[in-house]
Amino acid sequence: MQEGFIMQLSQKRLFWSLWISLIAAGAFTSAEGSTINVPGDYATIQAGLNAASGGDTVQVAAGTYVENLIWPTVNGIKLFGAGRDLSIIDGNNQASVLRFDTPNLIDSTTVVRGFTLTNGNALPPWPYSQGGGIHLFYASPILEYLNIVGNTADDFGGGMYIWGSSSQPVIRYVLIANNTAISHGGVDVAAGEPLFDHVTISGNSPGGFYTSSTHFATLLNSIAAHNVFYDVRVEGDYIQPATLRVGYLDSRQGISTIGFGAIVEYLGPIIEADPEFVNHTAADYHLLPESPCIDSGDPSYALDPDATVTDMGAFYYDQTVPAVNVALTPVSPPIQIGPGGGSFDFDVAISNPESAAQTFDAWIMVRLPTTAWFGPVLGPLELTLPAGGALTRQRNQAVPGGMLAGVYQYQGRLGGYPSEVWSSSGFDFTITGSGTQDAVSSDWVGTGEPFAGQALPAFLPSDLTLKAFPNPFNPSTVARYEIRDASHVVLRVYDTAGREVAGLVDGWRDAGSHEVTFDASGLPSGIYLARLEAEGMVQTQKLVLLK
């Protein structure tokens, strides 16, 4: 791989270059028009667009719309959804979700805002085989507050494809994730001068952000991480050089260049760190409080809504959340678990330094050596602490055998489950051996002191009871349990290493009392744990086998 020419530009040059390009694109013009409601006035988004004139707004209600949109030959339409998670445009794997096909017509008075674009499939013939989420041809709209996720292309640009020397689109506060293509899975800038600002590019395959534009692409205040093969790539040669203007970027794998004509102009710092998403495995790209992307955007930009320096990426971290704190501390570090499984003890401390009582969720996640998160292995629990209040608990976590060897992270979180994390704390532990299991296991059993203030379901813990007699026992005991309402019941027995040794019940049971025999003839003496689950409640009973 050849390293491209690297140039350094001042902040002043960046400011004026963006200012001039936005003026040229007409970003500061406006037009008043009527509002067309979908589905109120028209049943489909396409019908609403076709009926619109320049300056009109097509307002789309929350819901899922199975459509493949082709932008009409009209400039200045504003297409607004109810919110990026509320208005979903589903391409049904038939074609690109949204295509701008009319050359040299669409400028920045055309705006698309507040949608998820998903299930697009850019199919032949060329050029329709490019840009599964958005196919943009000689057009310069503003695309903002969008999720472009789960799209594919038979050729290039699973999430987005940009072509045309006059294309100057502005893409801001957009998530481009989990898209695929034959090549350049996330974004392919083949030509033009697009501006990507506050964009998160993650989970795309192959590759996140790619440009071979003979003009230049600009990438600012953004995150590119956890993409397959590369996060950001520039490719060019002497005949067709390509330029990327970039700054205030977290690119976990750095910026790769191919060819002597691949030029990178640095407009600000680049960091190469894990952005610390809440859970990229579950496509949750909000930031954890320890993220290096917080307050790391261009300080000359407008402040985030929480009045702090702008963050990198499509989702800012709100630093005005209550200052409740959690601390997880291992009892006997360092923790090393053998290939057969085991357990570890840890302390939990939660405090509320605020002047008012706070109610919040608490849960625990585990990060695998692959960087994937799973869980929660505890919670979410709803807790309430009075002003100045604190609580501590001693807990034990069982770890099943056969897990993937490597370093794990055990992390407690407070906030609004699952995406809003106010505070987090954790520690590492190591699993040795040659295990291959890397998915969620029901054998991750947590025991220890319960959490006061846990929000309870419709029936109380006393309505779900579990007892065993005799206890201690040899070689069998009878487990008796009672449920108030008919429900699905699971009753299993585990050893102290967290391994399941017996499955006693797994099925529907009527309300009332039930019993089942646990025969431990083939097990060694020791302590075992019976765990009963029904309608979201859990009861446990320690069993002592004496032979």
**What pLDDT does 542 receive?**
81
Q: Is 370 among the domain residues?
A: yes
User: Which of 398, 425, 448 finishes a domain?
Assistant: 448
Same domain, 255 and 347: no
CATH number at residue 430: 2.60.40.3880
DSSP labels for 166-226? T---EEEEEEEES-EEEE-SSEEE-SS--EEEEEEEES-BT-SEEE--SS-EEEEEEEEES
CATH number at residue 88: 2.160.20.10
DSSP labels for 260-278? TTEEEEESS-EE-S---EE
**What pLDDT does 379 receive?**
85
Which one has a higher pLDDT value, 62 or 512? 62
Q: Where is average pLDDT lowest: 161-165, 235-239, 356-360, 485-489?
A: 485-489
Same domain, 473 and 431: no
Number of independent structural domains in the chain: 3
User: Which of 287, 317, 348 finishes a domain?
Assistant: 287
Q: Give the C-alpha distances (Å, rounded to integers) separating 132 from 73, 99, 152, 170, 325.
A: 21, 9, 5, 18, 43
**What pLDDT does 196 receive?**
98
CA distance 12 to 179: 35
Q: Is 127 among the domain residues?
A: yes
Full residue range of the structural domain in which residue 112 is found: 6-287
Same domain, 47 and 125: yes
If one counts every other C-beta atom within 10 angstroms of the C-beta of residue 12, the result is 9
Give percent above pLDDT 70 in the chain: 90
Same domain, 443 and 512: no
Half-sphere exposure of 95 (CA within 13 A, CB side): 14
Same domain, 125 and 52: yes
Please give the single-letter amino acid code of residue 280: H
**What pLDDT does 306 receive?**
96
CA distance 264 to 7: 6
**What pLDDT does 546 receive?**
83
**What pLDDT does 486 receive?**
76
pLDDT, average across residues 54-80: 97
Q: What is the pLDDT of residues 196-255, one digit of tens each?
A: 999 999 999 999 999 998 789 999 999 999 999 999 999 998 888 999 999 999 999 999
Q: Is 309 among the domain residues?
A: no
Same domain, 412 and 481: no
If one counts every other C-beta atom within 10 angstroms of the C-beta of residue 186, the result is 34
Same domain, 254 and 331: no
pLDDT, average across residues 372-376: 88
Q: Is 281 among the domain residues?
A: yes
DSSP tag of 405: P
Q: Where is average pLDDT lowest: 178-182, 195-199, 400-404, 495-499?
A: 495-499
**What pLDDT does 275 receive?**
97
Average pLDDT in the chain: 88
Q: What tokens were used for 362?
A: 């608490």
pLDDT, average across residues 417-440: 87
Taking alpha carbons only, the member of 509, 498, 511 closest to residue 540 is: 498
**What pLDDT does 439 receive?**
56
Q: Is 247 among the domain residues?
A: yes
| Confidence category of residue 441, pLDDT binned at 50, 70, 90 | low
Taking alpha carbons only, the member of 278, 275, 294, 170 closest to residue 227 is: 275
Same domain, 430 and 473: no
Taking alpha carbons only, the member of 124, 127, 162, 132 closest to residue 149 is: 132
**What pLDDT does 440 receive?**
55
Q: Specify whether the CB–CB gap between 91 and 70 falls below 8 A.
A: no
CA distance 484 to 482: 7
Q: What is the pLDDT of residues 248-306, one digit of tens each?
A: 999 999 999 999 999 999 999 999 999 999 999 889 999 999 999 999 999 999 999 99
Q: Is 310 among the domain residues?
A: no
Name the CA dihedral angle for 455, 458, 461, 464, rounded to a multiple of 10 degrees. Answer: -150
Same domain, 470 and 344: no
Omega prior to 334 cis, within 30 of 0: yes
CA distance 338 to 14: 54
CA distance 78 to 55: 7
CATH number at residue 489: 2.60.40.1930
Taking alpha carbons only, the member of 40, 51, 28 closest to residue 82 is: 40
The answer, yes or no, to whether residue 545 has pLDDT greater than 90, is no
Same domain, 234 and 330: no
pTM reported for the whole predicted model: 0.78
Residues 6 or more apart from 508 whose CB is under 8 A from it?
Answer: 486, 487, 488, 489
Residues 6 or more apart from 311 whose CB is under 8 A from it?
Answer: 221, 287, 291, 293, 294, 295, 296, 297, 304, 317
Q: Is 294 among the domain residues?
A: no
The answer, yes or no, to whether residue 42 has pLDDT greater than 90, is yes
Same domain, 371 and 415: yes
Same domain, 444 and 473: no
Q: Is 109 among the domain residues?
A: yes
Q: What is the pLDDT of residues 491-544, one digit of tens each?
A: 988 876 667 899 999 888 877 788 899 999 988 888 888 888 886 677 778 888
| Confidence category of residue 6, pLDDT binned at 50, 70, 90 | very low
**What pLDDT does 483 receive?**
82
